[in-house]
Amino acid sequence: MGSPPARPQGSSAPSGPRPGDAPTSPTARPDRPASWRSREAALVAGLVLLALVLRLPTAGLQSFWLDEVYTGRIVDGSLGHAWSTVQRTENTPPLFYLLDWGWGRLFGTSEFALRSLSALAGALAVLPVARLVRSIGEATDTGRGRAVPPVGPEPAGPASAPGVPVSAGTAAATPLAASPGHAERLAAGLVEAMRRPVSGEGRGLPLSVVLAGGLLVVVSPLAHWFSQEARSYALFVLLSGLAWLALVRALREPTPRALGLWAVAAAAATWTHYFGGLLFLVGWSAIVVVLVAAAGDRRRAALRPVLLPAGLSAVGVLALLPIALNQQSTGMYEAISKVKGLPDRIVETPKQFAVGYSAPAEAVTGAVVVLVLTVLVAAGAWPRGGRATRGTVLLGLVATVWLLPLVALAGGFDVVLTRNFVLLLPPLFVLAALGAGRLGRGGLVALGAVTVAQVAVIVLVALTPVYQREDWRGIMAAAQDGQPAPELLFITAYQGPAATYYSPTLRRADPRRPVALRSLAVVDRLVDGKALKDAPVPQPPPGFVLSRVEQRDQWHVFVWTAPRPTRISPELLRSLQVTPPRTAVLRP
């Protein structure tokens, strides 16, 4: 056999793509006709509509629970009242409450009206997740802007033109090419991984995988729960999804536009929930690492485009500091560690991510769904050909954001709670969808089984009161029914704001003063998901007889009456509030 033709002396070796690399040419992404793109857009929009159908019709059926009552009080007043009240009663930034205040001016302050903003935000979260699936899974280079170049030496001639890789001898002078240390190798690996999509070189991502990512948003019991709650978490899922998408684009192609979009999205997520600040820190750190790793000895010039967007977004985030300090001074965040132990909260987070807060047979159902989703997420992040991909990087960023609050525990700052971590839902949905695609038909079938189970959880929760929010609207209606209505009510401790929201004429009783009355009631609610069926009847105070009992799975009401006004001493008043702990409220 003849030998291959010799290359001219001084010429470089062919530098085609190495195995596992994503193509970097403008034609790397398979061209698709406009009709194909329109079809994808229409189907994703259909998922948004499906999410609204699942969320809106039942958004007003349940009453506000305690935290939502605080939202109702915040928005029921002037804009100045909303701004000042957030700093006294909340542990989260003000963006959601300001938006809900404006929403309430347009649509009212009923349960349905205030929750509809969350329903809309929760449905719109489908859009960034579907787009992020493509950005992570497919070679979407378009030739626009400035992609991060490969790191390290590539063979080339000694007289390479500008923009052409230099020779190995010249490249050896760059910091990352000359005996790189562990940090340099890690940075170079991050740059290279962001050039490799999950789906493989030159391969398009099936539409079914994109739709699977969006569908996970639609049917997630936890995302659905927060989409029917007048709190900031559904908006946080939406804005954090946009922030993750912007971050991935900025890591792959750090143009001024991409960096600016990331800066805005990260700041907006932080103004919705303080955990957005974790993504803000991790994201900007990753961008700096990528730019420095790819710049060689021109690091200062590479970082110059970052200064303006990073500085402006940092100013926006730091503007929250006075608000955060005011909120911390109230000590309300300390309630997190008092409700449940840290090990229990860490263990329950994966279950709640999978099947929500409460569900039928949640231990078994949660374990199975968590196992399947864990396998799918791992498949989505698994290296391709032994080399990390964008999916690997995404999971690494997710793990970093998750670990930071655990590190804060060393300083005695415990904010580990499932709802605080919902910013991780969008990237986990993306990785699960990509993992199902990589595993083929079996993966898609497994993902389909998960979605069926999650839809079943949503339906069963909607039909079963014991799995729903505390029904303070029903409790107070039952407690004050009949003639005469109870003049003194003993309600579950710390739930006074919820009771007085639905019965505004009630006020806190002074335990130091005796009261004379003819009727009183004891109201207790469901605790830790345990139904209150067949609850024992409390002992009545002297001179009173039981006149009415109403019981539901979520609550029970006992009403006692006396034939004439009967004096309740301060000692008796306090004793009735001890076991279990209760708060006394009076009708003036």
- Res 208: pLDDT: 94
Backbone angles phi, psi at 330, to 5 degrees: -75, -20
Supply the pTM of this predicted model: 0.87
Most trustworthy range by pLDDT among 121-125, 481-485, 500-504:
121-125
Give the mean pLDDT of 296-313: 87
Q: What is the pLDDT of residues 38-78, one digit of tens each?
A: 899 999 999 999 999 999 999 999 999 999 999 999 999 99
For residues 235 and 134, membership in a common domain is answered with: yes
For residues 372 and 505, membership in a common domain is answered with: no
Q: What is the pLDDT of residues 189-222, one digit of tens each?
A: 888 888 888 876 556 789 999 999 999 999 999 9
93 within domain boundaries: yes
67 within domain boundaries: yes
For residues 424 and 481, membership in a common domain is answered with: no
- Res 573: pLDDT: 78
For residues 198 and 50, membership in a common domain is answered with: yes
**Rounded CA Rg of the chain:** 29
Domain containing residue 363: 34-144+173-465
Is the confidence at residue 282, as pLDDT, over 80?
yes
Is the confidence at residue 575, as pLDDT, over 60?
yes
> d(Cα 559, Cα 485) in Å, to the nearest integer?
9
The tokens describing 226, both together, are 């927060």
**Per-residue b or e along 485-520, where b marks 16 or more CB atoms closer than 10 Å to that residue's CB:** ebbbbbbbeebbbbbbbbbeebeebeeeeebebbbb
- Res 554: pLDDT: 80
165 within domain boundaries: no
Summary mean pLDDT of the chain: 84
For residues 461 and 491, membership in a common domain is answered with: no
Label residue 579 by pLDDT band (50, 70, 90): low
Among the candidates 431, 465, 499, a domain finishes at 465
16 within domain boundaries: no
Label residue 31 by pLDDT band (50, 70, 90): low
- Res 149: pLDDT: 54
180 within domain boundaries: yes
- Res 94: pLDDT: 97
Cβ atoms 502, 98 nearer than 8 A: no
Q: What is the pLDDT of residues 513-524, one digit of tens each?
A: 888 888 888 887
For residues 259 and 118, membership in a common domain is answered with: yes
Q: What is the pLDDT of residues 409-419, one digit of tens each?
A: 888 888 999 99
Is the confidence at residue 97, as pLDDT, over 80?
yes
167 within domain boundaries: no
Residue 550, strand partner residues: 557
For residues 318 and 411, membership in a common domain is answered with: yes
* Domain tally, the chain: 2
For residues 265 and 406, membership in a common domain is answered with: yes
- Res 173: pLDDT: 35
User: Amino acid identity, residue 436?
Assistant: A
**529 torsion bin: left (phi>0), alpha (psi -120 to 50), beta (else):** left
- Res 338: pLDDT: 79
528 within domain boundaries: yes
The 10 Å Cβ neighbour count of residue 237 is 32
322 within domain boundaries: yes
The tokens describing 489, both together, are 């009510």
Q: What is the pLDDT of residues 343-373, one digit of tens each?
A: 999 999 999 999 999 888 889 999 999 999 9
Which of these, 21, 392, 439, lies nearest to 202 by C-alpha position? 21
Give the mean pLDDT of 539-546: 83
Label residue 580 by pLDDT band (50, 70, 90): low
